[in-house]
Amino acid sequence: MQSFANNLSIRVSVSAKADQEFDAAFAPGRDKGKNTYRYVLLRFPLLSFFMIRTMSVNHRETKPSLAHATTPTPDLFRIDGRTVLITGGGGAVGLEAARAVLESGGDAICKDRQEKPLEVPWRTVLAASKKYGTRAWYYQCDVTNEENVRHVFKTSMEGIRFPFRGMVACAGISGDGATIDFPIDKAKRILEVNVTGSLICAQAASREFQQQGAPGSIVFIASMSGHISNKGLDTAAYNSSKSAVVQMARSLAAEWGSRAGIPLIRVNTVSPGYIRTRMSEASLKDPEIEKKWMEDNMLMRLSEAHEYRGAIVFLLSDASSFMTGSDIKVDGGHTAW
């Protein structure tokens, strides 16, 4: 009771002072916005706490552009002197993303759930590294395990020669089947890898950008299936996960694009169309599915993993300096019908 009485007397005293200041605050020529806030701070200290917190969260500032008018256009697409981490770096698109980074002057850190990358594709990555004088590393990592992701980020960053400036989130799984009978455990796993795993890695990347004080670019590999439904294939869980990735990228872009006190972090997505990969291999065994998929886009063919290199490097580089919260559809015109 004594504590309550003391607190009450303090509040009465503060309120009386606030009333006096409020009268003065609205005198002609005074800054009413600033003084209104001061009045609230004095009269309602608890409310002011939440105001301060909200102002801190929402306080924005303009970050300097990383692109310069005098930079030759081809150089805008270079990522020399940067380290880029690729999740799903042992898969088809991930390996091509790594090769693209190496060929564009950057070093690449690949991580995937298998202990070692596939030997033949990895040779292509190492060949690019040797040819262009860049470096490539591979780490085993489970993107759904927060502790494991933190450990791999910490370990991999200890050996880099260039600042960490980008991440490409390629890790993902799929699954099809009639939704009414689709195993919920399988649906949860798809969402866990594609959505939660992407978020965990984005958090880790953001922490690293902030620790280094360097700007960064995050590229999520989404899917055209996050924008449309697939004909001839029931993939409700997968489509939902990729739609979530697109929206997550927009939300992170809004949060990190102009937040005061942190470096510039741009976040975008690439939405591929149908690709010939191990993931789509089972579906493509059905000739009718392959025919339908080909006819459903404007180019009447399926894509290859290497055809996504350009979009990925563009979003990692300063050529896309005024892009964030955007999605690039590389789908042969499938979603443009």
Active site residues: 238, 242
CB neighbours of residue 278 within 10 Å? 9
Residue owning tokens 């939300």: 251
How far is the CA of 10 from the CAs of 13, 40, 42, 235, 336, in angstroms? 5, 15, 11, 62, 65
CB of 67 within 8 A of CB of 321? Answer: yes
| Segments of the chain assigned E as strands | 83-87, 107-112, 136-140, 164-169, 216-221, 265-272, 327-330
Torsion of CA 137, 143, 148, 151, to 10 degrees: 40
Query: Distance between CA atoms of 204 and 206, rounded to whole angstroms?
Result: 5
**For residue 274, which of 326, 330, 193 has the smallest C-alpha distance?**
330
Question: Using only C-alpha atoms, what is the Rg of the chain?
Answer: 25
Reading the block at residue 50, the tokens are 């939440």
Query: Distance between CA atoms of 195 and 220, rounded to whole angstroms?
Result: 10
